[in-house]
Amino acid sequence: MKTVPRVLVVEDEPAIAELVAVNLRHNGFQPIWAEDGEAAQRELDAVLPDVILLDWMLPGQSGLALARKWRGTARTKAIPILMLTARGDEPDKVAGLDAGADDYITKPFSTQELLARIRAVLRRRAPEQATEAVTIGELTLDAGTHRVHWRGQPVKVGPTEFKLLAHLMKHPERVHSRAQLLDKVWGDHVFIEERTVDVHVKRLREALGEAGAMVETVRGAGYRLTAQPQAALKAG
């Protein structure tokens, strides 16, 4: 039996929430509406959704603060968050991604764009098909158990960063352009900007700590994963 994806819509404007909910229901999703952070937390405590649509401007805690809180909580950290915002400026978009959002959509938005972005984050959340472990230098990724280890120690990596790292580790030493990474990691990148890749690479490096140097920026070309990062060679 096919399960219907649950979408938690955190939006304080009833007209927008109702419009979104109607379109979600008509396209095979189960919307749950919460008008502020407290109501959203009650829904999360009851049943975890498959995706969270989170408005930036909310009464009480802002969407930005909520995204940070849910990303920092073990039970909710893997749920894809798509931020709804009237703020279309680049710094605001980056702030949303840095807070833990997987994607953002600027109001006003089309129904088709919203649905495409939801489907895209759901595809990203789908477990890796491959179950084998990949080891590059002292960094190991196991797609079957969804774990990453550096020098035998576990490393906590978000769902999108995990998929990004898995792709880079399966093709070591190869340079990948931002467009190629969007295609291979994000799948449907029609509405996703290349800047999104930079933000997730930054988050991946931060999560990897010392091993982050293995993810190299190739100026004017993109990114590659190497067992012998230049930073380590210079240090040696």
For residue range 156-215, list pLDDT tens digits in order. Answer: 998 889 989 999 998 889 999 988 888 778 765 446 677 888 999 999 999 999 999 999
CA distances for 8 relative to 88, 124, 179, angstroms: 22, 18, 30
For residue range 122-134, list pLDDT tens digits in order. Answer: 877 654 444 578 8
Provide the H-helix boundaries in 72-110. 90-98
Most confident among 36-40, 77-81, 90-94, 109-113 (mean pLDDT):
36-40
> Which residue ranges form the domains of the chain, and what is each CATH number?
6-125 (3.40.50.2300), 133-235 (1.10.10.10)
207-226 average pLDDT score: 93
Q: Is the peptide bond before 108 cis (omega within 30 degrees of 0)?
A: yes
176 secondary structure, DSSP code: B
Q: Which distant-in-sequence residues (6+ apart) come within 8 Å of 108 by Cβ?
A: none
Both tokens assigned to 138:
């002292």
